[in-house]
Amino acid sequence: MGTKNSRYDALDGLRGVAAIAVMMSHFTQEAFKNAYVAVDLFFMLSGFVIAHSYGTRLLGGMTAIEYIKRRVMRLYPMLLISLLIGLPVLIGARMLSLSTYPMPSVISATIHNLFFTPYIGHLGNANMAIPGAVATADFTIGEIFPVNPPAWSLFFEMAASIAFVIIVRLSRSTMFKIIVVSGLMFLITGALTSFESRGHSIVDFSQGWAGNRMDGGFYRVSFGFVVGVLLYNLKSTGVDLRIMDALKQALRNSYGLYIVALAMFLFPMSLRGVYPAFIIFCVAPCLVMVGAKLSCASTFEAKTAQFLGWLSYPVYLLHFPIGRAVFMLFGKPNEPATVPIVVACAVTLVSAILLTRFVEEPIRAFLTKRLVPRPATPLVTPSAMTADQKAG
C-alpha cells in the first residue's frame, strides 16, 4: 500500500481546522451547527493516514501486537490527561446541580473510560454546565464518555485501528462492499434514531456518542475509516481521478481547502438530513483526496498546516472539560456567552500547546522507548501486493 516517505501536510491542516470547528460548535451552541460531520472526516483521515503509515509495515512483517501498541501509545496519553482534567470538573458540576450524573456513576464511568471502554449505565445529562441552568434528566442522552463527551470517538477509533490489521489485507472489491453495507446501515440507524427522538431531520447522523446510538457508531466508523483506507489504496497504486485534479486546481492551495471545510461546518441547516448526508458521502471523501494531492507552496504554508495538525488531537480532547470548567465559572443563563467562549478558546489552545509539548510527547517518547523496539521492518511496495489487491 505504498511507502511512507511523503507527508500530507494539507491533510494535517484540514484535521486541525476540523478540530477547531468541533470546539467552536460546543462552545457557541449556535455557530458550526454541522461541525459534528467533522468526526466522519476524522475517521476518513485516520483510515488514510494509518494506511499510509502502517500499511506497508504490516504487510511487510510488523506484528499486530507492535502495531496496536503504537496506536495505544499514540491515543492514550492525551485521553488520560483529558479524563484527569474532566473528572474534578464533572464532580463540581454535579455538586452545583449542573449535571444529573450521580457520583457513583461518575466514578464508574471514569474507570470504564480509563480502559478505552464506553460507559452505558446512567442516562444522565452532563452538558456544558452553565450556572443557573436547570439540569434535568434526559433519558435520550447518556454520554458513553461523560467526563469528556467528545472522547466517544476514541473508542471507535481504537476499534477501527485494531480492525485495520485485517482491513489492510482486503481487496478493493471487499472494501467497497464494506463501505456500501456500513453506509446503508449508517443511514438506517440514523433514520431510526430520528424516528425515536422525533427530531427535525429525517436522518440523524450524529451516531456513536450515546448509549442509545452505539450501534450507529460502529457503522459510522466502519464507513469512514474504510473509505479512508480505500482512498489511500487508490492513490498509492496510481489510480487517477480527473475530477480531483479539477478540484485541486480550483482550490489552488491548502488555504482553499480550509475555507471549504469551514464553510461546510458553518452551513446553518440540516435540510432534514440531506445536507449532512451529502457532506459525509460525497464532499468529505473528495476533501481527503484533494488534500492528499495538494502540496504546500511555501515553508510558512507547510508550517501552518503542520502546526494545525499537531494541535488537532489535543484541542479535540481538551476543549470540552476545559470549556465546561470555564462555563461553570463565567457562564450565565440567558446572557451572551462571549466572555466564556473567548476564555475557553484561549485556555484550550494554551493548554493544548503546553500539555502536548511538556507532558504528552515526553510520555509517548518514554513509552515508545520502553515498550516498542525498533527493529528494521521491510517495506512492501505496491508491486509486491497480491494480484487480488491490485485488481480488487
**Structure letter (DSSP) for residue 318:** H
pLDDT digits (tens, 9 = 90+) for 92-102: 988 888 887 88
Three-point CA angle 325, 328, 334, nearest 5°:
135
- Residue type at 93? A
The position carrying cell 472526516 is 41
The pLDDT confidence band at residue 211, using thresholds 50, 70 and 90, is: confident
**Residues 77-91: pLDDT tens digits?**
999 999 999 999 999
Q: Give residues with Cβ within 8 angstroms of 341, minimum separation 6.
A: 27, 28
Write out the three cell numbers for 169.
Answer: 489485507
Q: Are 354 and 364 in contact (CB under 8 A)?
A: no
Amino acid at 350: V
Q: Is 260 left (phi over 0), alpha (psi -120 to 50) or beta?
A: alpha
How much helix, strand and coil, in percent to the nearest 5, is found in the chain? 70, 0, 30
Lowest model confidence (mean pLDDT) among 68-77, 196-205, 353-362, 368-377: 368-377
Question: With bands split at pLDDT 50, 70 and 90, how would you rate the model's confidence at 168?
Answer: very high
Q: How confident is the model at residue 392 (pLDDT cuts 50, 70, 90)?
A: very low
**Using an 8 Å Cβ cutoff, are 380 and 93 in contact?**
no
Of the candidates 257, 276, 81, the residue with the CA atom closest to the CA atom of residue 191: 276
- Cell numbers given for 330: 463565567
CB 323 within 8 A of CB 348: yes
Note whether 290 and 235 are within 8 A (CB).
no
DSSP characters over 259-302: HHHHHHHH----TTTHHHHHIIIIIHHHHHHHHHH---SSHHHH
Query: Which residues, in sequence order, are bridge partners of residue 65?
Result: none
> Grid coordinates standing for 92?
463540581
Residue 347 one-letter amino acid: V
Give the pTM.
0.90
| Angstrom distance (rounded) from CA 204 to CA 190 | 4
Q: Cα–Cα distance between 22 and 31 in angstroms, integer? A: 10
For the chain, give the mean pLDDT: 88
| Cβ neighbourhood burial of 166 (10 Å; 0-12, 13-18, 19+) | exposed
Is pLDDT above 60 for 125? Answer: no
Convert the pLDDT of each residue in 14-42 to its tens digit. 999 999 999 999 999 888 999 999 999 99
What is the chain's length?
A: 392
Phi/psi zone of residue 362: left (φ > 0), alpha (ψ -120 to 50 degrees), beta? alpha
Here the cell at position 236 is: 498509492
Model pLDDT, residue 250: 79
Percent of the chain scoring above 70 in pLDDT:
87
Q: Residues 388, 64, 120, CA angle at the centre, nearest 5°? A: 105
Contacts for 94 with CB less than 8 Å, ≥ 6 apart: 101, 102, 103, 106
Lowest mean pLDDT segment, chosen from 48-57, 239-248, 262-271? 239-248
Rounded distance, CA 167 to CA 74, Å? 20
If DSSP codes are grouped into helix, strand and coil, which group holds residue 210?
Answer: strand
Collapsing DSSP to helix, strand or coil, 333 comes out as coil
Contact 290, 257 (CB under 8 A): yes
pLDDT at residue 377 above 60?
no
pLDDT of residue 381: 40
Cβ atoms within 10 Å of 330's Cβ, excluding its own: 17
How far apart are the C-alpha atoms of 101 and 106, rounded to whole Å? 6
